[in-house]
């Protein structure tokens, strides 16, 4: 399938799947997903499925990316933290919506490839580093928005502590081999409010002290 045809089909599928935010739809249409998948899966780049990218990681299904992005409510002046760069696909979608994106990946090889894609596509508002995503990015905190692309056992308090008041975090919560729920966390003056959004399945959020 030609990339242009694939992108048109992708947007139609996202609309059918309940994505109504026009900025999110435009960003998804603009990002060439075929750049973010291995050569052997290029012909499936616009299929409604997750695809492997190595290191037991995947590039998420487009509808999941769109739902998470829409739930994050990203504004053009926002400073955003992403935990789990992966292929860089979600990063690119977020970067088209915000002022500045900071993204952390625990696998150096994945981050190197993602950074090459960022350079190729000439997006200059992304700052990336290899690190332990469970720690966030204290040196750049606070953030208006935080996106977590791996499943935490509970709402990560360390990351909540790096949100601005009024900030939003979208995070999958649940056991690695059990039920997981995508949650939206809002930080107010008096603490957090959580909202369950949908059932999901993500690889676990792992700290440097854990194996995997």
> Which sequence positions are flagged as catalytic?
60
C-beta contacts of 24-28 below 8 A and 24+ residues apart = 24/66, 24/69, 24/70, 24/93, 24/97, 25/66, 26/96, 27/69, 27/93, 27/96, 27/97, 28/62, 28/65, 28/66, 28/69, 28/93
Write b or e for each residue in 10-25: b if 16 or more Cβ atoms lie within 10 A of its Cβ, otherwise e: bbebbeeeebebeebb
């Amino acid at each position: 399938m030609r990339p242009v045809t694939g992108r048109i089909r992708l947007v139609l599928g996202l609309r059918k799947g309940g994505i109504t935010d026009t900025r999110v739809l435009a960003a998804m249409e603009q990002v060439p997903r075929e750049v973010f998948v291995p050569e052997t899966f290029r012909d499936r780049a616009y299929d409604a499925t997750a695809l492997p990218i190595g290191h037991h990681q995947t590039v998420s299904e487009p509808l999941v990316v769109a739902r998470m992005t829409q739930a994050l409510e990203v504004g053009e002046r926002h400073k955003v933290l992403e935990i789990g760069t992966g292929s860089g696909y979600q990063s690119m979608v977020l970067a088209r919506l915000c002022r500045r994106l900071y993204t952390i990946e625990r696998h150096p090889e994945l981050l190197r490839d993602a950074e090459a894609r960022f350079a190729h596509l000439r997006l200059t508002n992304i700052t990336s580093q290899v690190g332990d995503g469970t720690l966030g990015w204290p040196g750049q905190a606070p953030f208006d928005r935080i996106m977590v692309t791996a499943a935490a056992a509970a709402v990560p308090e360390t990351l909540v502590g790096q949100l601005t008041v009024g900030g939003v975090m979208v995070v999958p919560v649940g056991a690695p081999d059990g039920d997981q729920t995508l949650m939206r966390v809002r930080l107010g003056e008096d603490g957090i409010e959580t909202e369950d959004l949908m059932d999901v399945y993500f690889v676990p959020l792992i700290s440097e002290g854990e194996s995997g």
